């Protein structure tokens, strides 16, 4: 009973449209920053090294190397401060956590191979969606033409 109540409350705060990403992906996270009364968006770009939790408490850690210094930030997926997330590059990994990247030095050493199979799969899905949209548009055009022909002209 109490779990159902918690789930109903959590549904209000869940983000519905959030891109799928995995550990190893290079992402650009847009974060809402408040400084006094001003608000601005700040982008943080790096590699996802960990994803943990589920539901409302799902979080991910992004690692970035800036001027030779590594910076890691942990974001809550459903936080109102996370405005947007864009997957830039899909990485190929065989681990759930990429903490071993911490011991690597340099940007070249911490790069991951690109996962071409995931990219091809997404490309194929987009093509299928475009074909479906084209079919729907064609069927609407045909319906409009048939309705114009059926209507008597005065």
Stated pTM of the model: 0.70
72 and 61 Cβ atoms separated by less than 8 Å:
yes
Quote the pLDDT of residue 151: 64
Residue with tokens 């995995």: 22
149: tokens are 């022909």
pLDDT in tens, 81-134: 999 999 998 888 888 898 888 887 766 666 777 777 777 777 888 888 888 888
Q: How confident is the model at residue 153 (pLDDT cuts 50, 70, 90)?
A: low
């Amino acid at each position: 009973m109490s779990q159902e109540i918690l789930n109903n409350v959590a549904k209000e705060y869940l983000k519905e449209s959030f891109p799928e990403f995995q550990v190893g992906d290079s992402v650009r996270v847009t974060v809402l920053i408040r400084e006094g009364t001003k608000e601005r968006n700040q982008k943080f770009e790096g590699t996802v090294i960990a994803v943990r939790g589920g539901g409302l408490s799902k979080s991910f850690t992004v690692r970035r190397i800036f001027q030779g210094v590594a910076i890691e930030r942990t974001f809550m997926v459903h936080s109102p401060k996370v405005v947007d997330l864009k997957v830039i590059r899909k990485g190929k990994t065989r681990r759930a956590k990429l903490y071993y990247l911490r011991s690597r030095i340099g940007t070249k050493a911490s790069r991951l191979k690109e996962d071409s199979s995931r990219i091809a799969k997404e490309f194929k899905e987009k093509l299928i969606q475009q074909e479906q949209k084209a079919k729907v548009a064609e069927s609407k055009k045909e319906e409009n033409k048939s309705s114009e022909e059926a209507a008597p002209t005065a």
